[in-house]
A = this chain, B = another copy of it.
Amino acid sequence: MIKIRLVTIHLCPTIMDIPKSFDISPIGYVHSTLKERSGAPRQGWEGAPNARLEIHPAFVQGLDGIKPGQEIWILTWLHESRRSVLKVHPRGEVLNPMMGVFATRSPDRPNPIGLHRAKILSIDGDRWLQVQGLEAIDGTPIIDIKPVLERRGDF
């Protein structure tokens, strides 16, 4: 009689070793004249309107040092996205061959985080940032703000 025993060996940390999910809370919201996803430009430079970022009072201290004229990264939670989508027609054009969502800027993706670069026009009442050219729609949750760094034109 032959006994076969299956052994699984993990030589490096595996996909299973780390918690499977994390909790994100908005730090504020976008206020914009763009009310619907279907009417929104694909990118900020494609005719997007100026918008106001309302930062929650609990996070206002985190803005200390941000100045008008500065370029920032705004990270948003694209709350109307479909998270089960892995392939799309780029820019929603059916004539464009399907591509993986990570090769596109589609809002439909497993973790629908929007990455927007914008210039701060003014800061009003400590927690309202007026920004130039933002394609996110009204009510979009803001989850992070970072300075654009100088190196390589963008970091």
Contact across chains for A101 and B27 when beta carbons are under 8 A apart: no
Which of A43, A64, A109 gathers most chain B CB within 10 Å?
Answer: A64
- Count this chain's copies in the assembly: 2
A26: which B residues are within 8 A, CB to CB? 18, 20
Q: How far is the CB of A18 from chain B (nearest CB, A)?
A: 6
Q: How far is the CB of A66 from chain B (nearest CB, A)?
A: 5
A72: which B residues are within 8 A, CB to CB? 102
A43-B155, A146-B115, A149-B105 known; A63-B100 Cβ under 8 A: yes
Contact across chains for B113 and A13 when beta carbons are under 8 A apart: no
The answer to the question of A124 belonging to the interface, with a C-beta cut-off of 8 Å to chain B, is no
Q: A residues touching B (Cβ–Cβ < 8 Å)? A: 12-13, 15, 17-18, 20-29, 31, 43-45, 54, 56, 59, 61-66, 72-73, 75, 77, 79, 86-87, 98-105, 109-111, 113, 115, 117, 138-139, 141, 143-147, 149, 151-155
A54: which B residues are within 8 A, CB to CB? 15
A154: which B residues are within 8 A, CB to CB? 117, 153-154
